[in-house]
């Protein structure tokens, strides 16, 4: 064996990279990691974790709005954006420290600088130093995509949303995915005037259409304005009015204090030097990998969003763990991408696992759809007459559960346990045989007829 500086060099200290580094080190490998931003990656530093904390803050605003029905009299209540922003960012700092300690406790050396590929077994640090490794793992994630239109420099991405100096009174969100709608819901609940612009007539394409339609109606009922089948033509700054003018092709532009571009994320492969090792990319710019996460260069692997398989943190973690076990642990294994649960933390949240109704009909032909359309007891206190919707998609022949989809308070918490049914291959009868927990929203799943 050639004499390498490390057994494994990981480029990127996000969720997938950190897991791969930690597990590889626990198997006895000599491991180093390079991270040009902050340890923790997108999810911990500028993604799902701080965003979920903002969701909690905005949920409190909703509860406060109908506290009187709970018997509470609250005088002089007001919201201060910097207080919530700074609290969230302090906790991000805490989590970053924990990730760093995890790597340190496993003997992983961390280089706080950018690293690129210089060859099949060589990485080059921004400082100019070259380091060799028997294996290289690329886990640099994805980056917000910014479209090309005049004035895009006046807009921001989701990365900057956690550091806004002040809360925008008027926020425009461009996009129809989960990032766009979660931020729209957060700032709507906190009192901002929110407008969503989407290039098509469909939101949240990977989720069940009926559940998404319910979410749209609820968001509109809460005051969010939607412009569907529209594209931003340009954004200009009106210095006199102190705001942005967004042209959607209409006669009159829309006034906004902030424009968030949340139109998707692209694999962060630019400038990585992949050509130096013959690492090939897909048409979307993602790194090509096989079932073992190996690239077209035998010594280089890739996990997480940079491969564009499934852009979810738990998936990146599993891919990183599987890589470490396979390469250094003597336990070859792959990741099962079937029945991955996911959620959108709008208000209320929606969640799903397995096939949507449309997908199930295309795949199985004859399916049964069981649903419950109800007003959650918690919503009785709210002035919003919002209804929850649960759906169970079942193969008509075998009665096997094919998909579970829902919208309503705490939907993601309920779905996590329900997702086990799909993994276990359970049938509708298993749900029917389960005694309901009353009164709860979750009991609707076992009462569907």
Give pLDDT, residue 62.
Answer: 86
Domain boundaries, the chain: 6-143+266-327, 152-263, 348-446
Q: What is the pTM of this model?
A: 0.95
Checking 414-418 for CB contacts under 8 A at 24+ apart, the result is: 414/351, 414/441, 414/442, 414/445, 415/341, 415/343, 415/351, 415/352, 415/353, 416/341, 417/442, 418/353, 418/445
For residue 99, report the phi and psi dihedrals to the nearest 5 degrees: -65, -40
- Residue 58 backbone class (left: φ over 0; alpha: ψ -120 to 50; beta: rest): alpha
What topology is assigned to 152-263 in CATH?
Answer: FAD/NAD(P)-binding domain (3.50.50)
Query: Active site residue: 37, 135, 321, 438, which one?
Result: 438
Give pLDDT, residue 1.
Answer: 52
Scanning 225-338, the segments in alpha helix (DSSP H) are 313-327
Nearest to 207 by CA among 356, 391, 50, 430: 356
**What strands, in cross-sheet order, belong to the sheet with 193-197?**
225-227, 193-197, 170-174, 258-261
Provide the CATH number for the domain formed by 348-446 in this structure: 3.30.390.30
CA distance 391 to 213: 13
CA distance 94 to 271: 31
Domain 152-263 matches domain 348-446 at the CATH topology level = no
Provide the CATH number for the domain formed by 6-143+266-327 in this structure: 3.50.50.60
Give pLDDT, residue 4.
Answer: 96
CA distance 73 to 106: 52
Give pLDDT, residue 449.
Answer: 85
SS3 148: coil
Residuewise pLDDT in 10s, the chain (449 residues): 568 999 999 999 999 999 999 999 999 999 999 999 999 998 999 999 999 999 999 999 988 988 999 999 999 899 999 999 999 999 999 999 999 999 999 999 999 999 999 999 999 999 999 999 999 999 999 999 999 999 999 999 999 999 999 999 999 999 999 999 999 999 999 999 999 999 999 999 999 999 999 999 999 999 999 999 999 999 999 998 889 999 999 878 999 999 999 999 999 999 999 999 999 999 989 999 999 999 999 999 999 999 989 999 999 999 999 999 999 999 999 999 999 999 999 999 999 999 999 999 999 999 999 999 999 998 899 887 899 999 999 999 999 999 999 999 999 999 999 999 999 999 999 999 999 999 999 999 999 98
Active site residue 438: yes
């Amino acid at each position: 064996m050639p004499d390498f500086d490390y057994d494994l060099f990981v480029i990127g200290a996000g969720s997938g990279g950190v897991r791969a580094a930690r597990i590889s080190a626990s198997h006895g490998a000599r491991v180093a990691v390079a991270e040009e931003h902050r340890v923790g990656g997108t999810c911990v530093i500028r993604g799902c974790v701080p965003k979920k904390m903002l969701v909690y803050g905005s949920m409190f605003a909703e509860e406060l709005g109908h506290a009187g029905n709970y018997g509470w009299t609250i005088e002089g209540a007001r919201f201060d954006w910097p207080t919530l922003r700074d609290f969230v960012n302090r906790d991000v700092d805490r989590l970053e420290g924990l990730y760093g300690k995890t790597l340190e406790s496993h003997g992983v050396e961390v280089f706080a600088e950018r690293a690129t590929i210089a060859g099949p077994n060589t990485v080059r640090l921004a400082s100019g130093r070259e380091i060799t490794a028997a294996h290289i793992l690329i886990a640099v994630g994805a980056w917000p995509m910014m479209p090309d239109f005049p004035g895009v420099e006046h807009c921001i991405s989701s990365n900057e949303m956690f550091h806004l100096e002040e809360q925008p009174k008027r926020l425009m969100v461009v996009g129809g995915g989960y990032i766009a709608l979660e931020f729209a819901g957060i700032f709507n609940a906190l009192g901002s005037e929110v407008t969503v612009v989407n290039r098509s007539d469909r939101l949240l394409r990977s989720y069940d259409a009926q559940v998404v339609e319910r979410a749209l109606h609820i968001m509109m009922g809460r005051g969010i304005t939607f412009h569907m089948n529209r594209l931003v033509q340009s954004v200009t700054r009106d210095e006199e009015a102190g705001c942005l003018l967004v042209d959607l092709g209409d006669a009159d532009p829309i006034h906004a204090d902030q424009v968030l571009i949340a139109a998707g994320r692209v694999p962060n492969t630019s400038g990585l030097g992949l050509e130096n090792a013959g690492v090939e990319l897909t048409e979307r710019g993602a790194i090509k990998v096989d079932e073992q996460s190996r690239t077209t260069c035998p010594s280089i692997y890739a996990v997480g969003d940079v491969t564009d398989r499934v852009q979810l943190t738990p998936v990146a973690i599993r891919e990183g763990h599987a890589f470490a076990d396979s390469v250094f642990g003597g336990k070859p294994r792959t990741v099962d991408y079937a029945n991955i649960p996911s959620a959108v933390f709008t208000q209320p949240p929606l969640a799903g696992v397995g096939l949507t109704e449309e997908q199930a009909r295309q795949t199985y032909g004859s399916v049964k759809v069981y649903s419950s359309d109800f007003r959650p007891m918690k919503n009785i206190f709210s002035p919003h007459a919002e209804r929850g919707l649960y759906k169970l998609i079942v193969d008509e022949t075998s009665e096997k559960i094919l998909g579970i989809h829902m919208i309503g308070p705490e939907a993601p918490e309920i779905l996590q346990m329900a997702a086990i049914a799909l993994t276990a291959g359970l049938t509708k009868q298993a749900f029917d045989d389960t005694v309901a927990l009353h009164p709860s929203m979750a009991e609707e799943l076992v009462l569907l007829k």
